[in-house]
Amino acid sequence: MTTQQITTQQMTTQQPFTFFLNQFEARIEGVEPLVRRLSSLRGQFLDQSAFDAILAQGDPMLYKVYAVDRPGVDGELSSGLTILHPGKVGDEYFMTKGHFHAVLETGEVYYCLGGRGMMVMETPEGDWHVAEMTPGAVVYVPPRWAHRSVNVSIAEDLVFFWVYPANAGHDYGAIERQGFRKLIVAQEGAPAIVDNPRWLPPAQR
Ligand code: S6P
Ligand code: ZN
How many angstroms is it from 155 CA to the middle of ligand 1?
21
pLDDT, position 1: 42
Question: Which residues does the chain have with pLDDT short of 70?
Answer: 1-5, 8-11
pLDDT, position 4: 62
* pTM summary value: 0.95
- Per-position b or e across 137-149, b if 16+ CB within 10 A of its CB: bebebeebbbbbb
Contacts of 30 (CB under 8 A, 6+ apart): 4, 5, 6, 7, 19, 20
Collapsed DSSP state (helix, strand, coil) of residue 162: strand
Q: Is 160 in the pocket of ligand 1 (CB under 6 A)?
A: no
How many angstroms is it from 1 CA to the middle of ligand 1?
29
Picking from 140, 138, 136, 65, the residue whose alpha carbon sits closest to that of residue 106 is: 140
pLDDT, position 7: 72
pLDDT, position 5: 66
pLDDT, position 9: 66
Residue at 79: amino acid letter: S
Q: Classify residue 55 by burial, with Cβ atoms within 10 Å: 0-12, 13-18, 19+.
A: middle
